[in-house]
Structure 1
């Protein structure tokens, strides 16, 4: 066997994996005039990076590396399948249509770096816990168990929230109403809360393996939490929703945006 590749080489290989998948999706988006295709494969870009680390890094902590890869696969495949199903037949998402309109002419070429290149880099940064955890040599310990439990809880929480919303929208009797049942009764965005739990859990696993040497991988859950709360998540979705749907203003007033909790005014 040859010499194991260095840490930086493996890291750049992960970036290459996300870039190749993003580039292929860009080509498909040109044919379909749909830049929102990146939403369907973004989680798979992260899985591609995690898989690259798993196969290139020396198997110093194979049990942890395998657990992290399985969590990545469960999260990525579920999210990609759900978004593909949800968006099937609806054309380009409204957010991407607005980006397209703002960046004419030649949006197709510009989208390579404005959308797909950016998402590839973000996916690579978010994959940091896999790089830190899979390169660590410490045996699995109690912190791994906590991290696994938090990540699995997050996948389950967002999956249940997505399923509840899908059932709600499928019922024509609910048209024009606000979903405030199930997990949505306790948080306006159970899918985002669950997502954050996944990445904080994976970071705990990285810390379990690498100790404080893996603290740098917190860039992943911090970035994801900021994106979910301030950029592409809560802030973007609710920017003008109160104007478009007045009933949602009441929902905002009584329901936490992110962390689950009892509705304000609800008996405790």
Structure 2
């Protein structure tokens, strides 16, 4: 039989929010020193790892120890892999064009504008999207099939985004592919294997809470928000607008799924 420590969970929300805020404020300070705001993308994954670790510490003695450890490890592994990947990808590059454009149009002090519109917003989203990770720490009772299904979904998602990122990095490293559209491997089945992988990861983590229906109902907003971000917000939709004028992209769109993987269309 599973229970849920509602009072402890509620009191732990502030600590998790503090962890997300601390990561973003430290990142903002580093960005000011370096003069490059693109490092906030690295902080996205680190923020989730920090929230998971703080929630693990705050929930000691409240939830099932095995679930607490598993959910924390899965979140930290995902977050750090993403942070390392983005950090390596951006090494040696200047400012991200997205942030250059935003700062150029910022009213008032552009740095304070970036703090509000990028860092604090991302911190709030990290806290919100990680609600299932926080809640899972306060769930009592042994792991049941919901959790094992979640672990399988998480593993599939991590593999999907990791393989997709690796395939894209190898493609871009070949000078012969300069200016071409990546349409091989997983990228022939979906135009966004990395985002689809994230989608699986966060729905998988949500399943760890589902053996407590009330807790699941209270936190389902988290994977829904992540799904929106990946498909309509700052993920796939934004990237596709950026690539719309690339030669061959319209043809790639016509034959390749926009999100959920499927075999490419023929002809």
Which band: TM-score by shorter chain? over 0.9
DSSP-derived class of the 1:7 partner: helix
Task: After TM superposition, give the deviation of residue 212 of structure 1 in Å.
Answer: 3.5
DSSP-derived class of the 2:248 partner: helix
> Tell me, which stretches of 5 or more residues in structure 2 are unaligned?
1-6
Q: Given the alignment, which residue of 8, 11, 27 partners 1:9?
A: 11
Structure 2: distance between partners of 1:87 and 1:104:
27
Matched, 1:121 2:124: yes
Structure 2: distance between partners of 1:233 and 1:73:
21
**Which runs of structure 2 are paired with 1:196-235 in the superposition (5 Å)?**
196-208=199-211, 210-235=212-237
User: Which residue in the other structure is 1:174 paired with?
Assistant: 177
Matched, 1:247 2:248: yes
Q: Given the alignment, which residue of 80, 83, 104 partners 1:101?
A: 104
User: Which residue in the other structure is 1:26 paired with?
Assistant: 28
Task: After TM superposition, give the deviation of residue 6 of structure 1 in Å.
Answer: 3.2
Matched, 1:144 2:147: yes
User: Which residue in the other structure is 1:44 paired with?
Assistant: 46
DSSP-derived class of the 1:6 partner: helix
Structure 1: distance between partners of 2:107 and 2:215:
45
RMSD: 1.5
Structure 1: distance between partners of 2:222 and 2:167:
28
Count of matched residue pairs:
261
Task: After TM superposition, give the deviation of residue 9 of structure 1 in Å.
Answer: 2.1
User: Which residue in the other structure is 1:80 paired with?
Assistant: 83
CA contact (8 A) 2:8 2:62 kept: no
Report the TM-score, using the length of structure 2 for normalisation.
0.94
Render the CA deviation track for 1:140-174: whole Å, top value 9, x for unaligned: 01111100000111011100000000000000011
DSSP-derived class of the 2:232 partner: helix
> Tell me, which stretches of 5 or more residues in structure 1 are unaligned?
none
CA contact (8 A) 1:133 1:207 kept: no
Runs of 4+ off more than 6 Å: none
Structure 2: distance between partners of 1:207 and 1:141:
10
